[in-house]
Chain A
Amino acid sequence: MSHPQIVVSNLSKTYRVPQRPPGMRAALRSMVRRVTEDVPAVCEVSFRIEAGEMVGFLGPNGAGKTTTLKMLAGLLHPTGGAATVAGFVPWERDAAYLKRISMVLGNKSQLMWDIPPLDTFRVLAEIYRVPPVEFRQTVDELAALLDMEALLTKPARNLSLGERMKCELVAALLHRPAVMFLDEPTLGLDVSMQRRLRGFIAEYNRRTGATVILTSHYMIDVAELCPRVLLIHHGRLLYDGALRGLGERLAPFKLIRLTLDAANGSAPAADHLPPDAEIVSQENGGLTLRVPRAGTPALTAQLLSALPVLDLSVEDPPIDAVIDQIYQEGAV
């Protein structure tokens, strides 16, 4: 059993936010006495992540994902609980710790705007003490992987969003971090650029065994990269496990898609349906039913015998729909 790379126990963060009702009177009053409100952003979250794992953080906006990442990267002090990453307490911000991690914020650039990325990389290499030989190797290797050699010498401000993001990733990986926090790395990118970056992140993880925590609102990022997901909602950890398992656990039903022989058997299909099955959609010959997960095999047999079935498939509900349901209802 290897040592877990990240251990988080009962981690909590409560923000104190100034409160002010609208209006002049309230504005004047707040100058004298400030009223604040405690807003819990993360509540007693616990999990462990092994070295080399790729884990996706899921949750709606404001769920506490970024707050958790920022605590793990040492940018925020928690209000409760404990965490160690690579054996360090993140918020002590030990230089040795900062050299082992990297954080990509999809909406904040670390490239210096007016100079070519290669110059920014050189500065980073000095900051992180990357030896020159290793620096050249890493840049060549990463630039080849991302097919971006031509971008290295253009000023950063002349790059497109996608090109800049490629450079951001290289910048974040120059010092070969053992732990990477990727907060919305594909934000605003087109599908093929997203796919390219995903492939790159997977490849980096495979080559170096780095631990990766990723947040993204694009479900496909998480589905393709992360065998394991942590679902956070209202600051609480609702689920920790495989993405596939999330569907099974959260959606206690399956979808049965039927294609019926319209010429044969004129009776409306609804008449033959077992009481547990619920029609989701029905259009010329096609029928989609929602059935309880446990009863699926029996129901399938029943349908096959009762209806003129041309084709039948059993599916899990789309993960997006499941997640949306959780976001709306706020519970698993």
Chain B
Amino acid sequence: MNPRGGVALIKATWLSWMQYRSFFFLLAFSWMIGPLVYLFVWSTAAGGGTVGGFTRGQFVAYYLILILVNQLTIAQTNWTMGDLIRGGQLNRLLLYPMSVAYNTLASELAGKVVYLLFVVPVAAGLALVLKPELHLTLANALAFVPALALAWALSFLWGYWIALLAFWMTRADALVTVEAAFKFLLAGQVAPVALLPDALRALATLLPYRYVISFPVEVITGQLDRAGLLTGFALQLGWLAVALGLYAALWRRGVRRYSAIGG
């Protein structure tokens, strides 16, 4: 495992990434655009009244938090890990007495810090102008912390197992595009899950995508009752276990295959 080496790698990766601040700022900005558009669509639709129980201010709060959560949980593992496998740089990492996952984790965490340097001020500025309406309770705030942590872990591992498909397929990217569509539709981006038609809402509740982005937002904005909260955490944990299992199995087999065919 070697956590000390991992921490050092994370620090160094962060130093490297800071060199490309503007690139990451642009990337972060591009990820904000979708939620921002829907923020304006829904808050305009709500006007002075409500849509599906949401007031204008509540839509603003929902989407601003969603933007932050999205930036925190968005996974880049498919790029970093997939490229390492395709490009053969994995050899280098396999020579280190350290888990290869640290490398991906390093770019993941390094990236987060850089994105947040951009996104937090922007979201704060928008909050001042758009006046969100958030009735924050201590219980919701407390539940938000594990929901967010689990969302990040799920996103990371889910992205990782898909990235590992690069051991077998030269381009696993197509799958990522399909995933992006699911995330757009079912993870509370186009509309809060509560506002989806019944069938889609059931699907969103069942599939993993909601638990990567919108579940923590629903928790902190107080959209969920006790039952919804418990089901949500249970499904989030369940999908995390699935992702972990897939990651472990694919990594073992993938490395065996990689060392059989050579990088």
Please determine whether A127 and B259 come into contact, CB atoms closer than 8 angstroms.
no
Residue A200 interfacial (CB < 8 Å): no
Please determine whether B94 and A122 come into contact, CB atoms closer than 8 angstroms.
no
Residue A76 interfacial (CB < 8 Å): yes
Against A, the Cβ 8 Å flags (1 = close, 0 = not) of B1-18 are: 010110111011101110
Q: Which of these, B15, B92, B97, B261, contacts A110 with CB under 8 Å?
A: B92
A16-B261, A98-B97, A123-B9 known; A114 vs B16 contact (CB < 8 Å): yes
Nearest CB on B from A101, distance (A): 8
Q: Which of these, B98, B256, B259, contacts A75 with CB under 8 Å?
A: B259
**Count of A-B contacts judged by CB separation below 8 Å:** 83
Against B, the Cβ 8 Å flags (1 = close, 0 = not) of A69-92 are: 010011111000000000000010
Residue A93 interfacial (CB < 8 Å): yes
The CA-CA distance from A114 to B92 in the complex, in Å, is 17
Please determine whether A115 and B8 come into contact, CB atoms closer than 8 angstroms.
no
Chain B positions within 8 Å of A113 at CB level: 16
The CA-CA distance from A119 to B7 in the complex, in Å, is 13
A75-B95, A75-B263 known; A115 vs B15 contact (CB < 8 Å): yes
Please determine whether B12 and A95 come into contact, CB atoms closer than 8 angstroms.
no
Please determine whether B89 and A119 come into contact, CB atoms closer than 8 angstroms.
no
Please determine whether B19 and A114 come into contact, CB atoms closer than 8 angstroms.
yes
Contacting B at CB under 8 A, from A80-138, are 91, 93, 95-96, 98-99, 101-103, 105, 108, 110, 112-115, 119-120, 122-123, 125-129
Q: Which of these, B2, B8, B88, contacts A95 with CB under 8 Å?
A: B2
Interface residues on A, range: 20 to 34
The CA-CA distance from A102 to B97 in the complex, in Å, is 11
Residue B136 interfacial (CB < 8 Å): no
The CA-CA distance from A119 to B8 in the complex, in Å, is 10
Chain A positions within 8 Å of B89 at CB level: 108
Residue among A91, A122, A127, A128 with the highest chain B CB neighbour number at 10 A: A127
Against B, the Cβ 8 Å flags (1 = close, 0 = not) of A34-52 are: 0000000000000000000
Q: Which of these, B88, B91, B98, B256, contacts A127 with CB under 8 Å?
A: B98
Nearest CB on B from A33, distance (A): 17
Q: Which of these, A102, A105, A115, contacts B16 with CB under 8 Å?
A: A115
Residue A288 interfacial (CB < 8 Å): no
Please determine whether A126 and B15 come into contact, CB atoms closer than 8 angstroms.
no
Q: Which of these, B4, B13, B95, B262, contacts A103 with CB under 8 Å?
A: B95
Residue A205 interfacial (CB < 8 Å): no
Residue A218 interfacial (CB < 8 Å): no
Q: Which of these, B15, B94, B261, contacts A93 with CB under 8 Å?
A: B94
Nearest CB on A from B35, distance (A): 30
Residue among B9, B17, B95, B259 with the highest chain A CB neighbour number at 10 A: B95
Q: Which of these, B11, B17, B20, B262, contacts A70 with CB under 8 Å?
A: B262
Q: Which of these, B8, B9, B12, B96, contacts A98 with CB under 8 Å?
A: B96
Nearest CB on A from B88, distance (A): 7
Residue A215 interfacial (CB < 8 Å): no
Please determine whether B97 and A91 come into contact, CB atoms closer than 8 angstroms.
no
Q: Find the B residue at minimum CB distance from A129.
A: B4
Chain B positions within 8 Å of A95 at CB level: 2, 97-98
Against A, the Cβ 8 Å flags (1 = close, 0 = not) of B23-49 are: 000000000000000000000000000
Please determine whether B15 and A119 come into contact, CB atoms closer than 8 angstroms.
yes
Please determine whether B5 and A126 come into contact, CB atoms closer than 8 angstroms.
yes
The CA-CA distance from A16 to B2 in the complex, in Å, is 34
Residue B138 interfacial (CB < 8 Å): no
Against A, the Cβ 8 Å flags (1 = close, 0 = not) of B130-153 are: 000000000000000000000000
Please determine whether A126 and B8 come into contact, CB atoms closer than 8 angstroms.
yes
A15-B261, A67-B262 known; A73 vs B88 contact (CB < 8 Å): no
Nearest CB on B from A4, distance (A): 22
Q: Find the B residue at minimum CB distance from A110.
A: B92
Q: Which of these, B88, B94, B262, contacts A74 with CB under 8 Å?
A: B94
Please determine whether A119 and B12 come into contact, CB atoms closer than 8 angstroms.
yes
Q: Find the A residue at minimum CB distance from B259.
A: A77
Contacting A at CB under 8 A, from B90-117, are 91-92, 94-98
Please determine whether B91 and A126 come into contact, CB atoms closer than 8 angstroms.
no
Please determine whether A122 and B262 come into contact, CB atoms closer than 8 angstroms.
no
Chain B positions within 8 Å of A127 at CB level: 2, 4-5, 8-9, 96-98
Chain A positions within 8 Å of B96 at CB level: 98, 127
The CA-CA distance from A15 to B261 in the complex, in Å, is 6
